[in-house]
Structure 1
Amino acid sequence: MSLQDCAEALRAHDPDRFGICLLAPAGARPKLMTLYALNLELARAPLASAEPLIAEMRLQWWIERLEDIGAGKPQAHELLTPLAEAWGPRAAAFAVLAEARRRDAAREPLDGPDAVAAYVRDTAVPLTVFAAEALAGTAGGFAPPDPRGVFSKRRNTGAARVIAAQAEGVGLAHWLAALPALQGLGLGLWDPSAEALGRIADQAGARLAEAKAQRRHMPRRLAPALFPGAGIRAVLQAAPRGIEALAGVAPSEFRRRLALGGFALTQRWWR
């Protein structure tokens, strides 16, 4: 998978992040494209088999290859080769993204809003932090994530707090938007009641508001990592009405492009 292949995969399956890659500085694009393409593969890996053991073995394969990159071992793989070229040994830290997907291999629903928030903190938040690192480049003012836990007190700068809050809020909203499909895969909620969905939406709104209130701490060059895409507001408004309401709020392609165009002009990532 060349960078062009990564771009085509993102265009087809993750159009919001594809758009962000196009808006990012040229020097950051290889890192962003390979990171987001890896995220796609890791999300698919546990769903490739209905047998939990086989699904987990697929994730373990990715973890071991990422560790190999960290050890300097050459890669002959369509995605891992450009990933290693873009990130070097730092790519080993992405194993945290694969580890977070292990529970998906079991195809077990989440046990309530707190479990959903924990899942998002383990998946969407570190992905966003790594994207911010790609955008930061060699510039100062932003501490890269700790691969053992993404954030530590020593590294928890003002920008990192904003990123964590925005990423969790956006991640919760995206999880809600995907819930009708996730429920059919066994990855939704044991109790997908309107009350539970409303609590998740409330938490998402609170985290987005927190990020907005602290936006002055966010360097402008990192803003693309926080772009929420289109339709966040509609998702959060629909969630308290139940899963059926969520099924009808997917934004149109026009709305997606309009949101991306607005961000390109204003760099306004907050809700």
Structure 2
Amino acid sequence: MSLDDCAEALREHDPDRFGICLLAPAEARPRLLTLYALNLELARAPLASTEPLIAEMRLQWWIERLEDIGAGKVQSHELLTPLAEAWGPRAAGFPVLAEARRRDAAREPLDGPEAVAAYVRDTAVPLARFAAEAMGWEAAGGFAPPDPRGVFGKRRKPDVAEVVDAQAEGVGLAHWLAALPALQGLGLGLWDASPEVLAGIAGKARAKLAEARAQRRFVPRRLAPVLFAGAGVRAALRAAPRGIEALAGAAPSEFRRRLALGAFALTHRWWI
């Protein structure tokens, strides 16, 4: 899989992130394309078999290959080769993206809003941090652990990582809701998919998005593409309290996706 193959896979199966890659600076694209293509493969891996043991073995294979890249072992693989070229030893951190998918191998539904939020924090948030690194944030200081108090006890300004995390969790929750009709059929949705539970998940998403929006002035402009929410977030959050049937009809059209991407390209407004 060359970079062009990564782009084609994203264009077909993850169009929002494909659009993000198009808007990223040229020097960041190899890292973003391979990162998002890896995320796509890891999301698919536990769904390749209905047998939990086989599904987990597929994930374990990816974990071991990523560890090999981190150790400097040469890879001969359509995705892992360009990934190693783009990320080098930093790919040693990527197994966290695969570990978060282990529960998918068991095909067990989640138990309410808190469980969904925890799942999204384990999957979407690390991905967003790696994407921010791809945009050059690591070189500018990276994600240092936040200091809870400023000088002389004054309230500190938010760490960029907190804003990235909040936006990633809010967007991730909305995307999870949008995917719920399909997830239910795979056994990866909710034990209780009542409108009340869906409204609770949407409420958590709105709170995180509001948290990120309130702190947007602390985020460097160069990170805007990887914080862009895409076209479907508002529709999913509006539909959720009406139930799973409403979510099934809330997917944005290709026209709306392109319109949202075009508007973002002009304004760099990632917050909603």
How far apart in 1 are the matches of 2:101 and 2:218? Answer: 31
The residue identity in structure 2 corresponding to 1:268 is R
CA offsets per residue over residues 13-40 of structure 1, 9 Å max, x none?
0011011101100000000000000000
- Pair 1:207 & 2:208 matched: yes
How far apart in 1 are the matches of 2:142 and 2:146? Answer: 14
Identical pairs, percent: 80
Q: Tell me by how many angstroms 1:57 deviates.
A: 0.2
**2:261 match: secondary structure:** helix
Contact 2:69 2:91 (8 Å CA) reproduced:
yes
How far apart in 2 are the matches of 1:205 and 1:137? Answer: 26
**Partner in structure 2 of residue 106 of structure 1:** 106
**1:136 match: secondary structure:** coil
The residue identity in structure 1 corresponding to 2:249 is G
Contact 1:143 1:157 (8 Å CA) reproduced:
no
Structure 1: which 5+ residue stretches go unaligned? Answer: 145-151
How far apart in 2 are the matches of 1:122 and 1:157? Answer: 21
Q: Tell me by how many angstroms 1:154 deviates.
A: 6.4
**Partner in structure 2 of residue 168 of structure 1:** 169
TM-score by length of 1: 0.95
**Partner in structure 2 of residue 256 of structure 1:** 257
Q: Tell me by how many angstroms 1:244 deviates.
A: 0.6
How far apart in 2 are the matches of 1:188 and 1:67? Answer: 30
Contact 2:20 2:226 (8 Å CA) reproduced:
yes
**1:46 match: secondary structure:** helix
Number of corresponding residues? 264
Moved over 4 A (4+): 152-157
- Pair 1:239 & 2:240 matched: yes
**1:270 match: secondary structure:** coil
Contact 1:142 1:157 (8 Å CA) reproduced:
no
- Pair 1:191 & 2:192 matched: yes
Q: Tell me by how many angstroms 1:139 deviates.
A: 4.0
Q: Tell me by how many angstroms 1:216 deviates.
A: 0.8
Contact 2:53 2:105 (8 Å CA) reproduced:
yes
How far apart in 2 are the matches of 1:55 and 1:46? Answer: 4
Q: Tell me by how many angstroms 1:143 deviates.
A: 2.4
The residue identity in structure 1 corresponding to 2:48 is A
Q: Tell me by how many angstroms 1:231 deviates.
A: 2.1
**Partner in structure 1 of residue 76 of structure 2:** 76
Structure 2: which 5+ residue stretches go unaligned? Answer: 149-156
**Partner in structure 1 of residue 64 of structure 2:** 64
**2:21 match: secondary structure:** helix
How far apart in 1 are the matches of 2:108 and 2:195? Answer: 20
**2:191 match: secondary structure:** coil
**1:132 match: secondary structure:** helix
How far apart in 2 are the matches of 1:209 and 1:136? Answer: 25
Q: How does 1:105-184 map to 2 (within 5 A)?
A: 105-136=105-136, 139-143=139-143, 152-153=145-146, 158-184=159-185
Q: Tell me by how many angstroms 1:79 deviates.
A: 0.2
Contact 1:170 1:228 (8 Å CA) reproduced:
yes
CA offsets per residue over residues 62-116 of structure 1, 9 Å max, x none?
0000000010000000000000000001011010000000000000000111000
Contact 2:146 2:159 (8 Å CA) reproduced:
no
